[in-house]
Amino acid sequence: MVNAALGDDWAVRIGAEWISQAKGFDRNPDSGQYYDHTSGWLARGQIRYRHGPLDVNLLVDGQDMTLPTFLNVYDAAPGVLTAIPLGYSANRFDVGSNATNLTEQKTQRVQLVANLDLDGAMLTSTSMASHLSSQQYDGSAIDLATEAQLQAQGEVGIYPLLQLHTDVTDRTLYEDLHLAGKALGGRLEWLGGAEILDQQDHYALTSATSPCALTARSGICGGTPTAPICDELTPASMACPMPFLGSFGTVTSTPQHYTSEAIYGSLRYKLDRFTLAGEARYTHDRKTATQTATALYTGAQTAAPNDYDFSAGRASYTATVSYALPGAWHDLLYAKTGTGYRAGGVNNGSATSLSPIPFQPTYGDEETTSYEIGIKGNLGAHIYFTADGYLARTTHAIARITDGCTPLNACKRGPTSFHAGERRGALCLPLQPTAHFRRRCQFSLLMPQLFAAPLARICAPDTQLACGEARKATTSAISPAVPIRPNGDAASKKASAPSGA
């Protein structure tokens, strides 16, 4: 990192970082690589100009990184999975895979922040443009050698050449312009502004699956339609049918366009020991997407294209009143209420009628109304405390779930994750807990000059929202830390499960 002043008005900052970590905790013995290896570079350059009422800051940064990839390991008890009736337990630190397991990410960003002092008000502009490219490859749950051992024991096993690939590109433009100032001798602080966001991204999911039925005696079908490959793993393996009868997989492509416009303002008025504050905002969001599905390698259309259009406008606010208690410790009583929301949108991914949980192409807004009261301040020169009660009610809560697919159920592929909304509430209060709500009670002590000792009592009954059914569907067949055949070779076998899209 280099900082330098170029005269009285100009300054620059330049920094770069290079990372090379070839090893890690989780190794693939087939390739010799580690799933959590990291390499690449990050760099940034910044230049600032300040003269009189004008202050301008330009930032340019980027990165090109190879990052740790997802790694999931099967651990199934005997008699639970029909494809592996004898059970299977893998060593999570030594996971074999013949597929590609890799995550690469490239980002570039330019940001310009300008402040202009108007002698009584400050005008601020924030402009930003960014581009992101991300490639993620997740391999099969097991390798060919492990599948051969499973078939030799009369088990179907898992298709060892399963491959998921997500390809994401994103372009984002953002602009915020606001004006802030003071009035009434400094007792009134005000702010007003507007912002706009324009985002275009493209999401593609490639899922390579077996083009042939997998049995305990079948060969492993792979390759491409024009160059098919059959791996006969055991002496009892049957030859693969030629040509292969099934599909090699699917490619789902979803270009999406998201625009958001907002206007907002705030006021803060101080009267003796009382302070009144309020904020208001109106946001309009629109998301459009077109989804197509084709067959891997051939490009043949497997489903009719789907067009989705989501649009919503929401107003939100916050109001706060506080009272500064007399004394030397600056203790403060306060009460606050407000509303907020998270915009709904369009999910990326593909649907299948075989999934335990239906895929939802769109999801609605999440809306929250919150209330808070409390006191905070000092009990002495070295002790700071807070005590508060908090109530929040949320409707159409947005949760990230999966469709429940695994390579071992009827889907014959990894899970697809998506956002879903459900009508639920959340209650956070020191008193009156119920089974339907979540409560939080917190008391903390901070002694910065002597020692830091946060003390907290948190009571939060589990509220799984819409995730509950997904968790049941995806984890009911897998139990953690279950040893399988005590005297068998399977205890040393490896497996990695592919992650969701």
Q: Which residue has the higher pLDDT, 382 or 40?
A: 40
Q: Please, which residues have CB within 8 angstroms of residue 229's CB and are 6 or more apart in sequence?
A: 221, 222, 223
Query: Measured between alpha carbons, how far is 236 from 20 in angstroms, rounded to an integer?
Result: 45
Sign of the alpha-carbon dihedral angle for 77, 475, 217, 496: negative
* Count of residues in the chain: 501
CB distance 102 to 65 below 8 Å: no
Question: Quick check: helix, strand or coil at residue 86?
Answer: coil
CB distance 80 to 479 below 8 Å: yes
pLDDT confidence of residue 321:
97
- pLDDT band, residue 487 (cuts 50/70/90): very low
Query: Measured between alpha carbons, how far is 360 from 73 in angstroms, rounded to an integer?
Result: 27
Question: Quick check: helix, strand or coil at residue 326?
Answer: coil
Residue 194 structural domain: 2-209+247-492
Per-residue tokens: 153: 């024991």
Structural domain contains residue 227: no
Domain count, the chain: 1
Least confident segment among 53-57, 211-215, 309-313, 464-468: 464-468
Question: Quick check: helix, strand or coil at residue 150?
Answer: helix
Structural domain contains residue 225: no
pLDDT confidence of residue 349:
67
What does the pLDDT average to over 370-383?
Answer: 86
Q: Please, which residues have CB within 8 angstroms of residue 90's CB and are 6 or more apart in sequence?
A: 73, 74, 75, 493, 494, 495, 496
Give the CATH number for residue 66: 2.40.170.20
Query: Measured between alpha carbons, how far is 276 from 322 in angstroms, rounded to an integer?
Result: 7
User: What is the enclosing helix (H) or strand (E) of 308?
Assistant: strand 301-324
CB distance 320 to 293 below 8 Å: no
Whether a cis peptide bond, with omega within 30° of 0, leads into 454 is no
CB distance 102 to 36 below 8 Å: no
Query: Measured between alpha carbons, how far is 427 from 372 in angstroms, rounded to an integer?
Result: 11
Q: State yes or no: pLDDT of 450 exceeds 60.
A: no
DSSP code for 184: G
pLDDT confidence of residue 422:
55
Structural domain contains residue 407: yes
pLDDT confidence of residue 423:
40
Least confident segment among 291-300, 309-318, 396-405: 396-405
pLDDT confidence of residue 379:
79
- String of DSSP letters for 419-485: EEEE---B---SS---TTS---B-EEEEETTTEEE---B-------TTHHHHHHHHHTT--TT----
CB distance 465 to 426 below 8 Å: no
In 3D, which of 281, 308, 499 has the Cα closest to residue 405? 499
Structural domain contains residue 300: yes
- pLDDT band, residue 121 (cuts 50/70/90): very high
Residue 355 identity (one-letter amino acid) = S
pLDDT in tens, 5-39: 998 999 999 999 999 999 999 999 999 999 999 99
Structural domain contains residue 501: no
Structural domain contains residue 224: no
What does the pLDDT average to over 432-443?
Answer: 31
Structural domain contains residue 326: yes
Percent of the chain with pLDDT over 70: 82
What does the pLDDT average to over 136-163?
Answer: 92
Question: Quick check: helix, strand or coil at residue 225?
Answer: coil
Cα angle, residue 80 at apex, residues 76 and 81 outer, rounded to 5°: 80
pLDDT in tens, 155-171: 999 999 999 999 999 99
What does the pLDDT average to over 487-495?
Answer: 29
Query: Measured between alpha carbons, how far is 28 from 495 in angstroms, rounded to an integer?
Result: 10
- Beta bridge partners of residue 117, listed in sequence order: 122
What does the pLDDT average to over 281-291?
Answer: 92
pLDDT in tens, 302-357: 888 888 888 888 899 999 999 999 887 778 999 999 998 887 777 776 667 778 88
**Centroid of chain to Cα 281:** 26
What is the chain's alpha carbon radius of gyration, rounded to the nearest angstrom?
Answer: 28
Structural domain contains residue 161: yes
